Structure 1
């Protein structure tokens, strides 16, 4: 999709959303078909609505939204916000005001957003839309946990404040409930967002990588703007810096690392380091290592033709049965089924 087509596409997306919000079944969803061709169903669709919904759903490659976010690391969706109930999301959210303006209540803070503004929210933030202009278009980007599973923190400087933001949100620290508001002063943020959107809705073999690259460039830009942003609930301490260093060490050495080796590296006792990790992240040391190994296994399943046996050895496991067990617990299927479902 070309950027020149994006505004028109997003406007059509809003029309699509309005139809879905009215409770109309998707005309392209085969589960709703009783008689005849799906486009001839006796619902109160206008010809324009049918054409728009057909176009929008063709970009998702599947009718309806039931499978939209399956196995995705980054998901975009577009909305015309309406006043609703307070809610939280199970993902880290990047909210961008593409057009218009709105007022949101975030953890009890009433905040006005205007065209070009951007907000990062972690999973703990209680949010509610209080008001939105008629021309508002809000681009929401869901950053799912698998995005952070694959060596994400290694791409950030330990001192980077955004690294602390994602670390707090990613490990569900009790002190988080954080969000950051960036007021846009030029078109660079819009450029990154628009390119990521065009890649996301124009599916190619390299879509996932390209979207991630644009998002990483965007986050680098936001890091430079951090001191000029407004932030709530973000903590910064030497203890957290040290914890980030531990996480990065685990990510670099996940194949063979042990708690004892990590403790020696940071000059701690194993019991102390284990307690600190558990206290900060809610996970035991072996769970951190397991997450990294599974994330690398997913990467190899998706991006290589290595056999499952080769992948198991490559990520540091020697017991095939145990690997299958934890993989199924994490993803609800076997590695081979995962590969088949991804069409690899």
Structure 2
């Protein structure tokens, strides 16, 4: 990694730790539209445990506000809390993994390296803590800036625009959450654009603002193309759907019969669509399902492996720790949240 990036991310960690401790009131005043109501409630109950903060945030209307573009690392000191925004937020997993949760859903949404999600204004969510080696980037795009980009795309696309499912039409809706998995031919383009945006944000000199705007516009174009690729090649979604419906017994031979391809054809289609294999998709979905069960059910930890199709408990533990950087028991304790 670029030494300048290492130093910048370390600076952000230090800055956010200060904001969360020594300068909490100022931080709340800067970031939340209803700060006057929030500050007394926060002052009366410091420190919060993670479970208490989640419960507090789901009961209060926490709306983050910003009229400026920014791009920062999701720092390790930030506790998870439910909130919405008056801006667009783009979340990109630059390295490792990162988790999201939506209110009312026990399922943790796990994003891996190269995955990206966009939250439109009003969408309530919480970002979960990252592991030591994870780098998750948060890009704030003010509504006027984003709407300019989207209207430009609509104008350029003209009659080809899809009134329901085109990217501009999707992002102009409020309270939406869209995920773009790292599984299409344009994923490497998206990675390069995010890298360029990162460096322009921190070290751009002449024409920095126009450069940032152009990179954001190109990023949206790449995401729009990514959506079209997935619509044209649905094999990835067919595989995921099959695995979720047969989480315990899913296997490659049965999938091939299910979708009507020979084994050789199916391997090639999965590789072309995702750059990986059936096994890659299988273990990822099984681990996500395990996280959901740990978070939303009372199934004993030692039985979760069997429920999702692992014959070896040790193999399940090893894979789970690789993804989440903690044991299944530690994950349940950390993310289960308040029990009513």
TM-score computed with the length of structure 2 as normaliser: 0.46
TM-score computed with the length of structure 1 as normaliser: 0.46
Whichever structure has more helix as a proportion of its residues is: 2
